[in-house]
Amino acid sequence: MLDEARPGNQANLRPLSPRRARCRPIITLPNPSQTFEAHLAGLGLSGIGTVHRNQSVPLLYEHALGRSEGKLGAGGQLVVETGKHTGRSPNDKFFVREPGSETHIDWSNNKPVDGAVFDALLERVGTYLTGKDVYALDCYVGADPAYRLPVRVITEFAWHSLFARDLFIVPPASSANAAQAEFSPEFTVINVPLFEADSARDGTASPTFILVNLAKRIILIGGTRYAGETKKSVFTVMNYLMPLRNVLSMHCSANVGRDGDTAIFFGLSGTGKTTLSSDPHRPLIGDDEHGWSADGVFNFEGGCYAKMIKLRQDAEPEIWAASHRFGTVIENVVMDPNTRELDVDDASLTENTRSAYPIDFLPNFVRSGMGGHPTNIVMLTSDAFGVLPPIAKLSPEQARYHFLSGYTAKVAGTERGVAGVQPTFSTCFGAPFMVHHPTVYAKLLGERIAKHGVSCWLVNTGWTGGVYGVGKRMKIAYTRAMVNAAIEGRLAGARYETEPFFGLAIPSAVPDVPSDVLNPRNAWPDKAAYDAQAKHLAGLFAENFKRFESHASKEILAVAIRP
């Protein structure tokens, strides 16, 4: 089991079993004893300048500030701007088509690139880095030693290395030179944000590129300063590897109650995964990405990547505190040039402002990064139409339906080219990161829900009383009260009414929540307008699900939404 080096108020609720204690590598390396220098040479990076390997947080700060990569915030944060790329570039992400993975990849959702294109671009990156200093971090992805993936992150920016240090799992020995030679990476990330591809010459879609080569175990990133590309590319690799080992990889957060009951929260960016799982009464297992194996849930990461826009200290004190201290990386938040105080309400750079910090910056977390099988699954959506109920209980079949549908709304800045709020269906609540066909993940989810008798809920953290721009965002206090009542079992004996458009079971009462909030139709002044919007959204659900009808079971088809 990996231990973080920093102290905190941790909860270690599940000791490792003898089977878990055995670290079974995911990929067999041809030469596990390969030296660091030989590894670089094999990547075509033998001509680089000084390699700053496994640097401490203070040293990375010194380098980043000395190289004018960022500025020091009033709370001790490292504040950076990522330029024109303030979110992911999904149109620039490609998989190298090769025999070992070709039959597993869902090519309707993922774009192929020829191996020769990758090799030529890697060679050009090696030439570009000749004589340049780089930063290398040896870390792990996957808290469970039975499934963890050793990853080496090589970056052009010091702050990108700090970001990776905050987000991934760093073994204590990685800061000591004595243990460095023993690390054998099974995947390598090479991130060169200042190198831009020549589309005509390099065969890329734009100057930006995110290329995943599963055969050579390399992720090549360039032309973007947005550090989230590193995080999400590694998550994508785990989404490929884990189902091949009968592990459900999930875009979700997870926490655990006093009695050891685990809850997981599915949802896309901006739906509230980080906010709702950061609960002072429930230790956090992880913020964003997890696996669900035969033994339970485990975090892929060692940190959190929280949205900062309109963050309030009174509403989210744990995230606020973690975002205002030394070691945290703040992306694209406007800062006063004199006081160095953050203005979290200023979206002039982007709506997708971010805070990256280690999980032990929170006061209450699970040190092992592992929990038992979930008792509750919460599927989060941010409904821009304002018609879905703030909470509804799902049958197992409905849970699989909504998992495949993955409805929410994209918010400006989360991805390039998105303006305003755009309703979207992102299967598995993370379509851009899913490598296999969505039904592979849905089948694993259904099997686990059935085996462990999991209660499932749909929670709308979006709008109520009208569409976006007319209605109001659901109060976070109400959402917390509803979620807590659900996962604590206080809705087990509640009366439910089934609303007519989506077939969802709405509780008639929830402690500390006004009854007129629970049924969304009651919150609209114009009931006819609500009915029209609800029918419209139901039609969008039905149209989207047509692509899964040939794969879906009769039980799922029976609960499918019809306009």
273 is catalytic: yes
Find the catalytic residue in 204, 230, 249, 269: 269
Give the integer Cα–Cα distance in Å for 38 and 46. 8
The per-residue pLDDT for 409 is: 73
Residue 260 tokens, joined: 């050891």
Helix locations, 453-526, DSSP H: 476-487, 515-518, 520-523
232 is catalytic: yes
Is pTM beyond 0.85? Reply is: yes
The per-residue pLDDT for 268 is: 85
- The string of DSSP letters for 303-351 reads EEEEE-TT--TTT-HHHHHHTSSTT-EEES-EE-TTT--EETT--SS-S
437 is catalytic: no
Q: 278 pLDDT band (50/70/90 cuts)? A: confident
Higher per-residue confidence, 129 vs 470: 129
List, in order, residues 6 or more apart from 519 with CB less than 8 Å away.
Answer: 389, 497, 499, 506
Find the catalytic residue in 124, 216, 251, 367: 251
Give the integer Cα–Cα distance in Å for 56 and 62. 10
Q: What is the pLDDT of residues 158-205, one digit of tens each?
A: 999 999 999 999 987 544 444 455 789 999 999 999 999 999 999 999
Q: Percentage of the chain surpassing pLDDT 90?
A: 82
What type of residue sits at position 365?
A: F
Contact 42, 154 (CB under 8 A): no
Mean pLDDT, the chain, integer = 90
Q: 31 pLDDT band (50/70/90 cuts)? A: low
Helix locations, 491-548, DSSP H: 515-518, 520-523, 527-545
124 is catalytic: no
pLDDT at 43 over 80: yes
pLDDT at 413 over 70: no
20 is catalytic: no
The per-residue pLDDT for 34 is: 72
Find the catalytic residue in 148, 232, 373, 448: 232
Element (H, E) at 252: strand 248-256
The per-residue pLDDT for 558 is: 95
Contact 334, 397 (CB under 8 A): no
Find the catalytic residue in 20, 39, 63, 88: 88
Find the catalytic residue in 166, 288, 360, 383: 288
Residue 268 tokens, joined: 């896309």
480 is catalytic: no
What type of residue sits at position 273?
A: K
Q: What is the pLDDT of residues 348-395, one digit of tens each?
A: 999 899 999 999 999 999 999 999 999 999 999 999 889 999 999 999
288 is catalytic: yes
Higher per-residue confidence, 149 vs 179: 149
Find the catalytic residue in 354, 393, 410, 416: 354
Q: Percentage of the chain surpassing pLDDT 70?
A: 90
Higher per-residue confidence, 396 vs 270: 396
Highest-pLDDT range among 10-14, 301-305, 416-420: 301-305
Q: 33 pLDDT band (50/70/90 cuts)? A: low
Higher per-residue confidence, 561 vs 13: 561
Residue 6 tokens, joined: 């920093």
Q: 272 pLDDT band (50/70/90 cuts)? A: confident
Element (H, E) at 452: helix 438-452
Q: What is the pLDDT of residues 86-137, one digit of tens each?
A: 999 999 999 999 999 999 999 999 999 999 999 999 999 999 999 999 999 9
pLDDT at 275 over 50: yes
Poorest-pLDDT segment among 13-27, 439-453, 546-560: 13-27
The per-residue pLDDT for 24 is: 41
The per-residue pLDDT for 470 is: 87
Full strand arrangement of the beta sheet holding 354-358: 71-72, 78-80, 329-331, 354-358, 303-307
The per-residue pLDDT for 541 is: 96
Give the integer Cα–Cα distance in Å for 319 and 357. 9
pLDDT at 238 over 60: yes
201 is catalytic: no
Find the catalytic residue in 249, 274, 278, 328: 274
Average pLDDT over residues 231-238: 97
pLDDT at 518 over 70: yes
What type of residue sits at position 279?
A: D
Contact 189, 152 (CB under 8 A): yes
Give the integer Cα–Cα distance in Å for 84 and 71. 18
Give the integer Cα–Cα distance in Å for 13 and 285. 10
